[in-house]
Chains A and B, each alone.
Chain A
Amino acid sequence: MTDLTNLTIAEALNGLKSKNFSAVELTQAHVQTMEQLRDLNVYVAETPDIAMAAAKESDARYASGDAKILDGIPMGFKDLFCTKGVHSQACSNILKDFKPPYESTITANLRGDGAVMLGKLNMDEFAMGSTTELSCYGTSINPWKGPDGKDRTPGGSSGGSAAAVAARMCLGSLGSETGDSVRQPAAYCGVVGVRPTYGRCSRYGIISFASSLDQAGPMTRSVEDAALMMQSMSGHDPKDTTSVNVDVPDFSAGLGQDIKGMRVGIPSDYILDRTSPEVAAAWESARKMMEDAGATAVEISLPHTKYALPVYFILAPAEASSNLARYDGVKYGARVEGETLEDMYINTRTENFGDEVRARIMIGTYVLSAGYYDAYYRKAQRVRRLLAEDFKAAFEKVDVILGPTTCSPAFPVGAKTFGKNQGENDDPLGLYMEGVLVNPSTIAGLPGISLPTATSAEGLPIGMQLIAPAFDEVTMFKAAQVLEKQANFTAQPDLSSWQKAA
């Protein structure tokens, strides 16, 4: 029998429709893999009972001919998504034991379309981080290993979501991206990760970090699979005032078509000192692959690129300091008693937020405080407009933009910090720089996709990103699938060393 955990979503749907295997068998195979690979610390809550019950319902629908578009597909969801009655903690101690009385719109859409929830996935606390090391459950491990044998980071904040897909612990997962939190881990784990246009998918029920930037995104092992998940996830939602009321196109409409005459923008501003030669070479070959497929490469300039991260590290902490004010020990989550109400607030927040979250709340509070609001927050909002205008001008000349996703492949766990340890590896701005190539398009609200196109000399995956104009995911998927085909990335992590008898 085929290895059921090694299928794409599209292949699994075909197998289910043809009755080659059942949804129960498909789910069982994944539950078993989850048990065998627990050392990767990818799932923070496993829900096999919920999964098996859902799989049985899927099988009944296949039997009666009423199957839905994702019926029987086993998925994992980042712990940031509220799932009714099920662990939803944003991997923070302050939401200890929180079980939401409601379901996020996106998980409701996916589950309503037949997706089978396997469990909740590890992440940096409140999505603030780039390695999953800042999770209250400890770091996840990237299933890819270099020749030195050191554990590699899966990236973050959606590191659990990326590693789960790479390690065959689900067929697809949900991540979320406020800066680069879908595309960076996708690149490090050799999977496909998509950021939809801001407003394309509802944010209702996603535990908020920075509301003007947060967007959910699918993570899969093929471009086609990401388009399938997006189809279910997208659409206007009256419960999210920032979800945009536009028609949802058929995201697969451009798949299988050629890209002859497509203009692919190559931003010279994405060549940075910190970009590794291997990544630069992979970018160059990706460009050639697209040219070989009939596209025309066009040099473009995005002159405000270097200001994207400073804009991000003003806006995101500012919005976070406001969003995280709700954690006060009264309504849900942890409480640490105090003599007065204010003591209770302070004790609860001090003991239950991690150091990085607390630091970002402090920075956000400072830049929003009286006397500094215009100098920091307003200034960042103005430069944000200039960044958006850079892209607007570029998209008058090109249809998509091609760049590397990250400056290097995945680094060893613990190699980079946020400046907490004063050790030799300390680079206070090191981890803050992770999103340098992705955050500009995030800030502009544009859709983007990262896919693996090469491996490094050490055998680690290298990811490329394609950025499209707002609400033109159809072109993004079309271009990405051509690049995927040309790159023919077939390498897989060796899971044998992680496997333990279930």
Chain B
Amino acid sequence: MTDKITQETVEKVANLAKVRVSDDEKDMLITKMNEILNWVGMLDEVNTDDVEPMTSVTDAAAMLRKDEITDGNQVDAVLENAPDKDHGFFLVPKVVE
């Protein structure tokens, strides 16, 4: 089976996933991801031409509720665990010049 994951794919996927992969880890990850993807590739031998994807094991339709406010005024609770906050806001590095 041809390997699907190359240096380039690992870098692209890491960027999408917002993680960094060191050069040392790269080879290990390429091997591991290829092993897993080659293994799960066995699903190709199953004929699923007329099979609908199963997105949920329960048949129940999604529950709907009235679009009304059920909660609020929880600023302190929401910010309680924030690594950095000020005046009721989350603080992050500057994003606008």
Of chain B, the residue at the smallest CB distance from A358 is B19
Assess whether A242 is in contact with B80, with CB atoms less than 8 Å apart. Answer: no
Of chain A, the residue at the smallest CB distance from B65 is A238
Assess whether A363 is in contact with B81, with CB atoms less than 8 Å apart. Answer: no
Assess whether A310 is in contact with B40, with CB atoms less than 8 Å apart. Answer: yes
B73 within 8 Å of A by Cβ? no
A side interface size, CB within 8 A? 74
A378 within 8 Å of B by Cβ? yes
A331 within 8 Å of B by Cβ? yes
Interface size class of B (residues with CB under 8 A): 35 or more
Of chain B, the residue at the smallest CB distance from A338 is B93
Chain B min CB distance to A303 (Å): 10
Give the residues in chain A near B42, CB-CB below 8 Å. 306-307, 310
Chain B min CB distance to A138 (Å): 22
Assess whether B83 is in contact with A380, with CB atoms less than 8 Å apart. Answer: no
Chain A min CB distance to B94 (Å): 8
Assess whether B93 is in contact with A344, with CB atoms less than 8 Å apart. Answer: yes
Please, how many angstroms separate the alpha-carbon atoms of A420 and B48 in the complex?
A: 34
Give the residues in chain B near A335, CB-CB below 8 Å. 83-84
Give the residues in chain B near A250, CB-CB below 8 Å. none
| Chain B 71-83 interface mask (CB, 8 Å, partner A; 1/0) | 0001001101111
Assess whether B14 is in contact with A242, with CB atoms less than 8 Å apart. Answer: no
Please, how many angstroms separate the alpha-carbon atoms of A355 and B10 in the complex?
A: 15
A294 within 8 Å of B by Cβ? no
Assess whether A353 is in contact with B83, with CB atoms less than 8 Å apart. Answer: no
Of chain A, the residue at the smallest CB distance from B76 is A101
Assess whether A199 is in contact with B58, with CB atoms less than 8 Å apart. Answer: yes
Give the residues in chain A near B88, CB-CB below 8 Å. none
Please, how many angstroms separate the alpha-carbon atoms of A238 and B43 in the complex?
A: 36
Of chain A, the residue at the smallest CB distance from B17 is A365
Which residues of B are at the interface with A, using a C-beta cutoff of 8 A?
A: 5, 9-10, 13-14, 16-21, 25, 28-29, 31-33, 35-37, 39-44, 46, 48, 51-58, 60, 62-63, 65, 74, 77-78, 80-84, 90, 92-93, 95
Which residues of A are at the interface with B, using a C-beta cutoff of 8 A?
A: 97-102, 198-199, 212, 238, 241-242, 244-245, 304, 306-307, 310-311, 313-314, 321, 325, 328-335, 337-347, 349-350, 353, 355, 358-359, 361-363, 365-366, 369, 376, 378-386, 388, 418-420, 428-429, 432, 444-445, 470
